[in-house]
Structure 1
Amino acid sequence: MTQSAVLETELAPYFTTKAPFQFPVDFREGFVKYWPIVSLVLLILALPAVVAFLGISAAFVPVSFMAGADIGLGYTIAMILTLAKTVLGGIALPGLFNRKRQGWVFSYYAQLLGILISVFSVSVIGILLGLLFLMLLFQVRDYYN
């Protein structure tokens, strides 16, 4: 048996057996087949934006603290988490292409960070979409070994 990722055992029932709905098998198989390609394309398209984001963010960090320590700290944390999520998404690609569990685990961690970013950004839509994607990830977990 493989070792569980952080919170995987606790969250799994809520996104699989206790989930409000199950994604159709055809959809799950299509997701597993095409998600690595879509993820790679999105990562390539995001790289220039991430580089620009880091440059602009570095300039705005001091200014963000002028609005208050809580806003500046929240902005800085969101910036760091976004960078970590992007790196995890890139690290997950080889495992996703080869349907290895490690690829799923890195995608899972990236998704958890994405939800955390949405919480820091107070984005209800981001939180809901993140939870929906996390449910999909749990429902395709068995495809990765």
Structure 2
Amino acid sequence: MPLRSHRAEDAHTAISGFLTHLEERGFVYDTRRLRSLFLMEYLEHALAAEETVSMTAVELMDLVRADAWLADAAAGKTRRRNTLQGPDAAAAGNSQRVRIQTWNAFAENLGLCAYGWKCHPPTTATTSNPSRPTSCCAPRGEAPRWR
């Protein structure tokens, strides 16, 4: 799949375009809301880490950045509200799986999966022990050099 024109676009605009694409394809509201929540969480995490106010969609989709976001989310550092286990509880395995699926769907929408950019769900051992972060984002072959 060729890269879409979103790659130089502002990340927030690309996310909005992705959500519109999901609506046009008939995805239910709850799926779109959840994907929006996780992509905005990812964008806020990336902007805070870079100490900037904007970045392009391709800059956002850096695999190292995705790994850092997933590790912080697994440790509960991206949580916006309390849980029954307390504010420092690790993220549920299902939440991590949905974060990864959302990231992959957005990468596919941008045309990055053709280059092997994909996150893989953690193994059972990692899901049962989210405090042990592992690298789950890995390119297949050589990734393009955008910068």
TM score, norm. by length of structure 2: 0.33
Structure number having the greater helix percentage = 1
The structure having more radius of gyration, on CA atoms, is: 1
TM score, norm. by length of structure 1: 0.33
